[in-house]
Amino acid sequence: MTRTVSNTLLRLFRVAIASVLIAGSAAQAQDVTLTSRDGTIELTGYLLTFDGEFYRVDTEFGILTIDSSGVSCDGPGCPSLGPFVAELTISGAHNMGAVLFPALVEGFALRKGYALKREEIQGVGTLYSLLEGGTGQEVARFTIKLTTSSEGFADLLSQQADMVLSMRQATTRERSLARDAGLGDLRIARQSRVAALDALVPIVSPGNPVTKISISQLAAIYAGKIQNWSELGGEDAPITPYMMDIEEGFGPVFMQDVIAAQGATLSDRVVIHPTSRTLADAIARDPFGIAMTTYTQRGSGEVVELSGGCGFSVHASRASIKSEDYPLTMPMFLYLPERRLPQVGREFLSYLRTDSAQFVTRRAGFVDQALTRQSIRAQGDRMANAVSTAGEEVTLEELQRMVRTLNGHERLSISFRFEGGSTLLDAPSRSNVALLAEALESGRFDGKQLSFIGFSDGQGAAEQNRNLSERRARAVRDQVLAQLEAFDPARVQMLIDAFGEAMPMACDDSAWGRSVNRRVEIWVN
pLDDT tens for the chain, residues 1 to 525: 333 344 333 333 332 333 333 333 333 446 899 998 888 889 899 988 787 788 888 888 888 888 887 888 888 888 876 778 889 999 999 889 999 999 999 999 999 999 999 999 999 999 999 998 878 899 999 999 999 999 999 999 998 999 999 998 899 999 999 999 889 999 888 899 999 999 999 999 998 999 999 888 999 999 999 999 999 999 999 999 999 887 777 888 888 888 988 888 999 999 998 888 888 889 989 999 999 998 988 888 899 998 876 667 788 889 889 988 888 889 999 999 998 888 899 999 999 989 999 999 999 999 999 999 988 777 766 677 666 666 677 788 888 888 888 888 999 999 998 876 667 888 888 889 989 998 999 889 999 999 999 998 888 888 888 899 999 999 999 999 998 887 888 899 999 999 988 888 777 777 777 888 889 999 999
Q: Is residue 363 part of a domain?
A: no
DSSP 367: B
pTM score of the predicted model:
0.79
Q: Is residue 221 part of a domain?
A: yes
Q: Contact at 8 Å (CB) between 200 and 253?
A: yes
Q: By three-state DSSP, how is residue 281 classified?
A: helix
- 404: exposed, middle or buried (C-beta count within 10 Å: 0-12, 13-18, 19+)? exposed
- Residue 8 pLDDT: 32
Q: What residues contact 126, with CB distance under 8 A and at least 6 apart? A: 97, 102, 118, 119, 120, 143, 144, 146
What are the Cα distances from residue 198, in Å, to 97, 302, 322, 371?
Answer: 15, 17, 9, 16
Question: What residue type is 57 in one-letter code?
Answer: V
Q: How far from chain centre, in Å, is Cα 220?
A: 29
Residues 375 and 520 in one domain: yes
Q: What is the DSSP string of 405-446?
A: HHTT-EEEEEEEEBSTTSS-B-HHHHHHHHHHHHHHHTTTTT
Residues 299 and 275 in one domain: yes
Alpha-carbon distance 454 to 476, whole Å?
9
What are the φ and ψ backbone dihedral angles of 465, each rounded to 5 degrees?
Answer: -65, -40
Number of domains observed in the structure of the chain = 4
Alpha-carbon distance 84 to 68, whole Å?
13
Q: Which of 74, 106, 127 corresponds to the end of one domain?
A: 74
Residues 138 and 12 in one domain: no
Q: Is residue 296 part of a domain?
A: yes
Edge-to-edge strand order for the sheet containing 305-307?
212-214, 305-307, 313-314
**For 263-342, where are the alpha helices, taking DSSP H only?**
276-285, 318-322
CB neighbours of residue 26 within 10 Å: 6
Residues 212 and 173 in one domain: no
Residues 443 and 507 in one domain: yes
- Residue 391 pLDDT: 62
Alpha-carbon distance 354 to 365, whole Å?
17
Alpha-carbon distance 31 to 27, whole Å?
11
Residues 138 and 175 in one domain: yes
Residues 387 and 507 in one domain: yes
Residues 468 and 520 in one domain: yes
Residues 90 and 70 in one domain: no
Residues 70 and 90 in one domain: no
Q: Contact at 8 Å (CB) between 50 and 79?
A: yes
Q: Is residue 355 part of a domain?
A: no
Q: 44, 30, 127: which is closest to 85 by C-alpha?
A: 127
Please give the residue range of the domain that contains residue 462. Answer: 371-524
Q: Is residue 216 part of a domain?
A: yes
Residue 120 maps to which CATH number?
A: 3.40.190.10
Q: Contact at 8 Å (CB) between 210 and 304?
A: yes
Residues 148 and 36 in one domain: no
Q: Is residue 54 part of a domain?
A: yes
- 174: exposed, middle or buried (C-beta count within 10 Å: 0-12, 13-18, 19+)? buried
Residue 24 maps to which CATH number?
A: 2.30.30.100
Residues 93 and 64 in one domain: no
